[in-house]
Amino acid sequence: MSRLTKRLSTIAHSQQGLFLALASVTAGNVVFHILAGRALGPSDYGTLSALLTILLGLAVPAGAIQVALTTKVVHLRRADRQVDHQQLALVFAAFGLFGAALLTTGSPPLARFLNLRSISDIYLVGAFFVPTAMGIVYRSVLLGQERFLDLSRILVFGTALRVGAGLILFATQAGVTGALIGTLISEIATTLFLARGCRSNTSPASTPSSLIPWRLTLRATEVIGGIAAFGGLWVLLGADTILARHHLDPIDAGAYAATALAARTVLFLPQAAVTAALPRFASERREAISHLMDTLLVCLALGLSVTVALLGLAQPVGRLVMGNAFPLDSGVMAILAGAALWLALLTALVNFHLAQGETRLAARVWIGFPVLLVLAARTTANPRGLALVVLTSGALATVALTLPLLKAGREQLAASGVGPIIPASLDLSVVVPFLNEGERTRQLLTDLVQSLDTTRRNQFEIIAVSDGSNDTGPGLIRAMDDSRILLIDKPISEGKGAALRTGMTLAQGRQIAMIDGDGDIAASHLVPMLQTLDLFHADAVIGSKHHPRSHANASPSRRLLSLAGRAAARVLLSSPIPDSQTGIKVFQRELIVDVLPRTRENGYLFDLELLLAARARGFDHLVESPVQITSTSQSTVGLLSILSSGVTLLRMVGRFSGVRELPEAAETASTSPERSVQGVTV
């Protein structure tokens, strides 16, 4: 199973409750806004939207602090420490009071800027500050302790209370003030239940030291850096509705706010995925980057799915639930949906950098602010122009936060794995990965032995690696009783790439070949390829379906995967690379010793990764060889494999784009004459 598949499985099982709860919360908020829009009308709804955006300005920096606190709780939990959060909650309550006082003091000019008829609603907004500030601490404790079920129940309850209170208050025609009161009631109740949930943690201490509570604190730099980063995210996320209220007439501003609300439903599921992944962003950096890359791609997939549904259904659904008073501009909605995709990725990046303590990198989100500020002034009475400004500023900020990760990804290309573990003592090693191929693999091994027996390469070995086969294949190979065939029986399937890596690690040959164990490529191809390797003094000879003398009858899924791999290689490198996905290749040992420790992929695109790393290390003399493929086996390349491989391709873009030379590798060969691999049967 690929790393991405495991991550998706983790989200789908251990964090399923939290993910669904967060999705329910966002859905409930949409319902609340729909009720508000129908009850208030465009002008008053524009007022409510602008006021709630001020709360978003509080919630987003609060999210930054939550990242820092969650990270600390994660580290304390791993150290088996109890968390004392009470004093910090009181400190945050004091800060909430201070923020409310500042907002109250500045309410007259703010009311004039937003064209409000009364400043009393701004006072209600200030009342949110204390419960929201205290709720940050309680959410962080529950999230950092991975008490996902408790947190999920409380968040769903709070959202249900908000919708219920909204129904009652809208029915009494309480207007904007009623909408704010209903939201405030749910915020206070949610905070109280969060506090109770934190106090009810009765998990027993496992060591004497864990009996002593560890006071939860934050350094000023952590708070300031987090607020700065998420403050910039707030500007990109919600400032356009405030600018719309300032620049556009009230009716157009309300319509723009409704369109922006609809477009930002794209953010809901990705934000839930980011929150569920937050404790893992606090892992060791190499592992955390891997979690981030998968989270970014999950966000992209979820966001694109919602975008497609949104663009097709927003107009009729909008008329149905909000009435004809809110004209949803399709062009504006499409632009804002694209901006929301950028913001979904940006949210993940900001959370990651803060969880890693990289506040300066997270603060790069502000790079989009000058663009938003300067260009927004030129979009007076032009909703579509304002939407384009949001799209542009979000894209620039996302690129700014991604560039450091590309550099980090290239640094990770240094050797970190294991190469062949013993010196060369044979002419040739042939690695044959297989999964539930039974008789086909046994016949291929028989043909390989006969073919190699007829050449001068009489010192050879065949390493057959079962990638978790549960059929008769391993037993048939054992029954062959040939000392030149080494069977590696892996109990769990980890992917073709992992099987190849295992076999190459054990290889003793001065030349190392690989051939798929399904028998679609005949064993007779190997000898001519070995001769080509010697004749041209090549670093590697690559079987290619694109060679003029090749004939391939492959399954559609394999054709798609091969085409994608070749297209990706053209994007990643300045010159085309030989067909990476054809299952037969021959390498000089020097290439495998140097490059294998740099590989990480376990799936079908291990071959492409190996060739990309080889090119980056200077092994660029690669020769294509014709192949004849008659695909009679059942393809194991399914939809999940294709999707996972697509994720791998995107991950490779970050690792190899622009890379022309990799760092030197540490010595990986061992003088030990014994061969063993952890977790497999030899």
pLDDT tens digits for 446-472? 999 999 987 766 689 999 999 989 888
pLDDT at res. 429: 96
* 419 domain-assigned: no
* 682 domain-assigned: no
Do 404 and 442 share a domain, yes or no? no
Do 50 and 76 share a domain, yes or no? yes
As a whole number, mean pLDDT of residues 83-94 equals 88
Tokens standing for residue 5: 């598949």
What is the rounded CA–CA span in Å between residue 667 and residue 360?
Answer: 36
What's the chain's Rg over C-alpha atoms? 30
Tokens standing for residue 371: 């663009």
For 10-31, the DSSP string reads: HHHTTTHHHHHHHHHHHHHHHH
Averaged pLDDT score across all residues of the chain? 77
Do 183 and 36 share a domain, yes or no? yes
Interior angle at CA 38, CA 32 and CA 39, nearest 5: 85
Q: Which residues, other chains included, contact 667 with Cβ-Cβ below 8 Å and sequence gap of 6+?
A: none
**Element (DSSP H or E) covering residue 379:** none
Do 263 and 335 share a domain, yes or no? yes
The band of 639, judged by pLDDT with boundaries at 50, 70 and 90, is very low
pLDDT at res. 680: 53
CB 348 within 8 A of CB 299: yes
CB 246 within 8 A of CB 110: no
What is the rounded CA–CA span in Å between residue 416 and residue 414?
Answer: 6
pLDDT at res. 318: 52
Do 537 and 442 share a domain, yes or no? yes
What is the rounded CA–CA span in Å between residue 113 and residue 108?
Answer: 9
Residue 325 has pLDDT above 80, yes or no: no
As a whole number, mean pLDDT of residues 96-124 equals 82
What is the rounded CA–CA span in Å between residue 650 and residue 643?
Answer: 11
pLDDT at res. 201: 58
DSSP annotation of 177 reads: H
pTM of the model: 0.57
* 671 domain-assigned: no
Show which of 385, 411, 437 is a domain's final residue. 411
* 440 domain-assigned: yes
The most confident of the ranges 202-216, 396-410, 554-568, 576-590 is 576-590
Do 474 and 521 share a domain, yes or no? yes
Interior angle at CA 135, CA 34 and CA 66, nearest 5: 100
CATH of the domain at 591: 3.90.550.10
The closest of 513, 508, 511, 460 to 673, measured between CA atoms, is 508
For 257-275, the DSSP string reads: HHHHHHHGGGGHHHHHHHH
Do 345 and 430 share a domain, yes or no? no
Tokens standing for residue 625: 């060889």
Count structural domains, the chain: 2
Do 167 and 102 share a domain, yes or no? yes
pLDDT at res. 10: 44
Pick the more confident residue, 226 or 509.
509
pLDDT at res. 380: 55
Domain of residue 321, residue span: 3-200+213-411
Residue 343 has pLDDT above 60, yes or no: yes
CB 274 within 8 A of CB 348: yes
The most confident of the ranges 41-55, 320-334, 516-530, 653-667 is 516-530
Helix (H/G/I), strand (E/B), else coil: 507: coil
Residue 136 has pLDDT above 70, yes or no: yes
Do 387 and 477 share a domain, yes or no? no
Which phi and psi (to 5°) does residue 232 adopt? -65, -35
The band of 114, judged by pLDDT with boundaries at 50, 70 and 90, is confident
The closest of 413, 420, 403 to 286, measured between CA atoms, is 413
What is the rounded CA–CA span in Å between residue 226 and residue 71?
Answer: 12
Question: pLDDT per residue over 590-626, tens digit each?
Answer: 999 999 988 888 887 788 889 888 888 889 899 999 9
Q: Which residues, other chains included, contact 643 with Cβ-Cβ below 8 Å and sequence gap of 6+?
A: none
pLDDT at res. 590: 94
CB 31 within 8 A of CB 164: no
Tokens standing for residue 21: 């709860």
CB 467 within 8 A of CB 493: yes
* 521 domain-assigned: yes
Do 479 and 436 share a domain, yes or no? yes
Question: pLDDT per residue over 393-441, tens digit each?
Answer: 888 888 888 877 765 555 555 555 677 877 888 999 999 999 998 899 9
What is the rounded CA–CA span in Å between residue 365 and residue 375?
Answer: 17
